Amino acid sequence: MKQQLIRLTEQALGKLVGLQKLTVTELPEVQLERTKDKKHGDFACNIAMVLAKAAGMNPRQIAELVVGALEDNAVISKVEIAGPGFINFFLSEAASRQVVIDVLQQQDQYGLSKVGAGKKVQVEFVSANPTGPLHVGHGRGAAYGSVVSSLLKAVGFDVHREYYVNDAGRQMDILATSVWLRYLEACGEQIPFPSNGYRGGYVQDIAEMLLQQQGDKLLHAASKVFSDIPADEPQGGDKEAHIDALTEKAKTILGEKHYRLVFDIGLNAILSDIRDDLAEFGAEYDQWFSERSLVESGVVETAIEQLKQANVMYQQDGAWWFKSTDFGDEKDRVVIRDNGQPTYFASDIAYHLNKYQRGFDRIIDIWGADHHGYIPRVRAAMDAMQQDISQLNVLLVQFAVLYRGSEKVGMSTRSGEFVTLRELRDEVGKDAARFFYVLRSADQHMDFDLELAKSQSNDNPVYYVQYAHARVCSVFRQLQERGGEWTPESGQQNLQLLTQPQEQDLFTMLSRYPEVLELAALNHAPHLLAHYLMDLARDFHTYYNAHHFIVDEAELSQARLCLVAAVRQVIANGLAVLGVSAPESM
């Protein structure tokens, strides 16, 4: 309906320009907003004020010309000019009711659009280091990224979902070292486990797997492993120097073949769990992109050489630095360490250059809020490589803090004290977890209330929405039990009988769905859709509590059944975008 009114307004403007009643070099995009007060119509348009300066005319004068040039259309009952020149559209009753017919005809296609025009969008999300299981902190990024992807697809973008696997670099070396040390413990060695190693029980599980596969082939005496190793932090030393020295010792003692074996068993075990967790959580990917592939294929080296050729790199104290301050960053960044090893930033540069080279029209990175400092340096690198940085969007997801009662649950992967995403899913269910995660804007901090997420009450948002869907299903079961039959054609022919205030509210809410879907997609704002579904559920529950749908008046009954069927369809459509089920009974 909104798009139809926009087209009518655009046609009127085109007619006025053609008749030279309106002289402008370019017509701006027509914007319509729903009115907050029905006294001012259903939609308001400010095009007259927007054009006033360019046309050199009074806004009200422009508004009068536009209204006079509007073609007669059955969707409009009247048009009024208000205030300085707002054009207020009042929809006809038939137009308001048409949404029910549209929903029932289009079914799961209702609300979808082609505003994205098939443009290729890459969405990278979660991309947690495969150094441990996903925890509840990752869950918010997983829910947000998958719903943003679904929203963009719903409005016509060609979406490519991607997980960047950090399967190279220091943290993975620390994981491999941690696994090997636990393996040595399992073999009977007394190991002073490093304070900066990975301590979670999952590391011991992997070590046991390694022992079963390899026996004592990788066994070396602890005295040999820890000889000449700098002191750890509890002994007054530097924990970083201690773990790095242990990692180098592991590589030396084991040799390349056996070290890679330990490395890969840790990587593959954890990555397999991550894949399973995300699949069970409803987060799907088109590609799992390996950081190691960038290094082994020489892409990292090529990207660094490109920066050197652009004269935006310099050498200092044996390290190579990128002149990121020349491109708006707060300080220059090391790309190659003094030991000749590339930094994480070097891989990030290569990976983002690769994204551009794959021809995406838009690149969306979804990162945790703790990565905000990485944004200017990555954008600086792409700018230095003459890429269009307007195509790169970085969306930050604030932390989600889990509460069990009044106690906050820890989130440290290194210490192993955290609640996994799998544990959360097992406790509250996928639906509740996903809905709760997207209920607030991603840039806002959120507290995850476990008890509320599990409750079967109207205070639980996901239960409230799903219950509305189930209630409609129960109406149709009751109809069947009474030997009745729903005839959609009859109901659609009698929609004029739906004159109750609750019915009018539902007409309006249903017609808003395509607008909300588009707004949520273009603004990367899943919470707009979640709150819309809560509002639609509220209006339905109000209607359900005020009126019977299966009544003696056959025509009225059929019309009401059409309306609630449309509500059921839109709730199902919206929940599907959120990756949440629409149960038929609860």
Mark residue 219 as left, alpha or beta (left: phi above 0; alpha: psi -120 to 50; beta: remaining): beta
- Amino acid at residue number 317: D
Task: Name the token pair of 348.
Answer: 């990030």
- Going from the C-alpha of 55 to that of each of 17, 173, 220, the distances in angstroms are 10, 66, 84
Beta bridge partners of 86: 82
Per-run averaged pLDDT (10 residues), the chain, 586 residues: 90 92 89 89 94 92 94 91 94 93 98 97 96 90 98 98 93 96 97 93 96 96 96 94 96 96 96 96 97 92 94 95 94 92 93 96 96 94 96 94 72 58 92 96 90 89 97 97 95 97 96 97 98 98 97 97 98 98 96
Which residue's structure tokens are 């701006």? 28
User: C-alpha distances in angstroms, 176 versus 126, 218, 222, 246, 484?
Assistant: 22, 13, 16, 11, 66
Cα distance between residue 130 and residue 367, in whole Å: 16
Does the domain spanning 2-91 belong to CATH 3.40.50.150? Answer: no
Q: Check if the beta carbon of residue 1 is closer than 8 Å to that of residue 99.
A: yes
What's residue 417's pLDDT? 57
- Give the pLDDT of residue 414: 47
Architecture category of domain 97-115+457-578 in CATH: Orthogonal Bundle (1.10)
- The domain ranges of the chain are 2-91, 97-115+457-578, 170-280
Q: Are 163 and 452 in contact (CB under 8 A)?
A: no
Per-residue b or e along 482-517, where b marks 16 or more CB atoms closer than 10 Å to that residue's CB: eeeebeeebbbebbebbeeebbebbbebbbbbbbbb
Please provide the DSSP assignment of 462-476 as one string. Answer: HHHHHHHHHHHHHHH
Residues in the chain: 586
Phi, psi (deg, nearest 5) at residue 77: -90, -35
Residue-level pLDDT at 405: 67
Token pair recorded at residue 143: 């829910």
What phi and psi, each to the nearest 5 degrees, are found at residue 315?
-105, 135
The CA-atom distances, in angstroms, between 135 and each of 132, 275, 448 are 9, 13, 13
Virtual torsion, Cα 335, 339, 340, 341, nearest 10 deg: -60
DSSP of 225-267: HTTTPPPPGGGTS-HHHHHHHHHHHHHHHHHHHHHHHHHHHHH
The pLDDT value given to residue 510: 98
239 within 8 A of 99, measured Cβ to Cβ: no
- The answer to whether 351 and 399 have CB atoms below 8 angstroms apart is no
